[in-house]
């Protein structure tokens, strides 16, 4: 049950208001586009809220604020409506105004943890992570039994970002071409918070049979905040021991992605047979470091790819995440994933390959910076269609079930050309 110390109104009214803002204020540490909560709010008048959701979904902030301001004029003492206004300002990226609005609300009502967590979210988007942490801690002190408050505090230091390093490091150049250029788009839609988006481009260059470089740029959109990430890596291949990839990442984090990152990966394959059920096995081991303003994340990744007859492949991977915040103990969290890839058709130069995957653990496999913040099960699949010897397109979709009844739907596509 949500607890609140809001003054005024009956106990049932106060509980209804707390439920109404719980899902639109507390769980907003990442996202770019408003995904309206389900109709769990118990306020009698929900028409204006639906209109605000509709305009926010279209990023029409002026009309969304106009509707909220009309409600404030009708009920100037209703702090919940003013909290809606502060949140719309946050989504619109008008952070100084959102900060002032939340502070004005807290001058009147200091005992509502949801208002404090809303202010913490604003601090996060401003890049003020220490202030965000202190404010989130105060919210938890007001209601220490609220698990959602503690989860949001963890998300403050685990803003959503996709692993552009994995994409760039694993890109392969086929057909003897020296360059591969790939463009992609990803989106995550949540049942409890606005959506996340990112656009990215990678360039892989094969200089010699032994040396390959990769570079990537990703543009992120999180809760009205934009961030940019640059990733570079170099790979050395050796016939006897396989390949070694090392790289790093940096960019304009804006408080929603890691400030810097580094990684390495070892890859070695073993050929077994041409006619047995298992043709070969590839073993990949890697480590990745992510440095936030006040947090450090280390992941170790072990993957085994089994090559089967008819070009089928089965991969099994494990991830262990080591999270360390400025005022918490070091914590390790495990996750696992399995993927099956199957050729679906081949017509001259054209080829269609499909895959299905399942993952379980304490992270979203597409977003390693969320490790440790929740438990989940993810189901998904994808397609890769090569329509010429030099061009292909890929697409994927995934559905994730999280703790506390939350859900996430992810999808994306990319286009690659070799030259």
Average pLDDT, integer, range 74-98: 89
CA distances from 116 to 4, 13, 38, 122, 194 (A): 12, 20, 23, 10, 19
pLDDT band at 274; cut points 50, 70, 90: low
CA distances from 122 to 57, 127, 140, 179, 275 (A): 19, 9, 17, 42, 60
Q: Which two tokens stand for residue 379?
A: 């189901």
Residue span of the structural domain in which 36 resides: 11-156
Of 131, 156, 181, the residue at which a domain comes to its end is 156
- Are residues 89 and 174 located together in one domain of the fold? no
**Lowest-pLDDT choice from 56-60, 115-119, 327-331:** 327-331
> Does the structure show a pLDDT above 80 at 258?
yes
Average pLDDT, integer, range 400-412: 89
Q: Which residues pair with 320 in a beta bridge?
A: 300, 334
- Are residues 89 and 196 located together in one domain of the fold? no
Q: Any idea what the CATH number is for the domain that residue 286 is in?
A: 2.40.160.60
Selection from 223, 274, 283 nearest residue 56 by Cα: 223
Q: Read off φ and ψ for residue 301, nearest 5 degrees.
A: -130, 125
- Are residues 148 and 251 located together in one domain of the fold? no
Of 107, 129, 156, the residue at which a domain comes to its end is 156
Q: Kindly tell me the burial class for residue 349, based on how many C-beta atoms sit within 10 Å of its own C-beta (0-12, 13-18, 19 or more).
A: exposed
Q: Say whether 361 sits in a helix, a strand or coil.
A: strand
- Are residues 132 and 177 located together in one domain of the fold? no
Q: Any idea what the CATH number is for the domain that residue 31 is in?
A: 1.25.40.10
Residues 6+ apart with CB under 8 A from 110: none
> Cα(234)–Cα(162) distance, rounded to whole angstroms?
20
> Cα(121)–Cα(399) distance, rounded to whole angstroms?
26
Q: Specify the pLDDT at position 326.
A: 59
Element (H, E) at 14: helix 11-21
Summarize pLDDT for 201-220 with one digit per residue, the tens.
999 998 987 899 999 999 99
Q: Do the domain assignments include residue 246? A: yes
> Cα(399)–Cα(406) distance, rounded to whole angstroms?
11
Q: Specify the pLDDT at position 245.
A: 97
Q: Specify the pLDDT at position 51.
A: 86
Q: How many domains does the chain have?
A: 2
- Are residues 87 and 201 located together in one domain of the fold? no
Decide the pairing of beta strands 331-347 and 211-222: unpaired
Selection from 205, 104, 150, 121 nearest residue 328 by Cα: 150
Across the chain, mean pLDDT equals 79
């Amino acid at each position: 049950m949500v607890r609140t110390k809001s003054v005024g109104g009956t106990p049932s009214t106060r509980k209804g208001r707390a439920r109404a803002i719980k899902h639109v204020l507390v769980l907003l540490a990442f996202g770019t586009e408003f995904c309206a909560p389900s109709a769990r709010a118990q306020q009698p008048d929900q028409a204006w809220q639906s209109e605000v959701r509709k305009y926010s979904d279209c990023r029409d902030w002026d009309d969304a604020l106009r509707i909220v301001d009309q409600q404030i004029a009708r009920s100037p003492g209703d702090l919940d409506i003013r909290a809606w206004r502060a949140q719309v300002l946050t989504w619109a990226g008008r952070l100084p105004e959102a900060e002032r609005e939340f502070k004005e609300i807290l001058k009147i009502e200091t005992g509502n943890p949801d208002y404090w967590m809303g202010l913490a979210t604003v601090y996060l988007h401003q890049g003020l992570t220490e202030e965000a942490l202190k404010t989130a801690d105060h919210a938890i002190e007001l209601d220490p039994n609220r698990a959602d408050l503690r989860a949001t505090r963890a998300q403050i230091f685990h803003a959503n970002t996709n692993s552009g390093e994995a994409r760039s490091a694993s890109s392969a150049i086929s057909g003897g071409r020296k360059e591969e250029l790939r463009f992609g788009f990803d989106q995550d839609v949540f049942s409890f918070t606005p959506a996340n988006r990112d656009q990215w481009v990678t360039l892989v260059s094969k200089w010699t049979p032994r040396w390959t470089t990769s570079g990537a740029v990703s543009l992120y959109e999180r809760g009205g905040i934009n961030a940019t990430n640059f990733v570079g890596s170099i790979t050395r291949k050796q016939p006897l021991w396989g390949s070694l990839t090392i790289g790093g990442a940096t960019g304009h984090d804006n408080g929603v992605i890691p400030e810097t990152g580094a990684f390495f990966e070892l890859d070695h394959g073993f050929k077994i047979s041409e006619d047995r059920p298992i043709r070969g096995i590839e073993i990949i081991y890697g480590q990745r470091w992510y440095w936030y303003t006040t947090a450090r994340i280390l992941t170790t990744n072990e993957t085994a790819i089994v090559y089967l007859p008819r070009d089928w492949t089965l991969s099994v991977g494990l991830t262990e995440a080591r999270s360390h915040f400025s005022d918490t103990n070091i914590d390790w969290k495990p996750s696992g994933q399995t993927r099956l890839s199957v050729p679906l058709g081949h017509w001259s130069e054209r080829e269609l390959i499909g895959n299905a995957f399942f993952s379980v653990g304490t992270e979203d496999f597409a977003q390693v910076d969320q490790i440790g913040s929740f438990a989940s099960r993810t189901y998904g699949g994808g397609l890769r269609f090569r329509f010429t010897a030099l061009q292909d397109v890929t697409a994927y979709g995934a559905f994730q079930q999280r703790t506390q009844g939350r859900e996430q739907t992810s999808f994306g596509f990319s286009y690659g050309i070799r030259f």
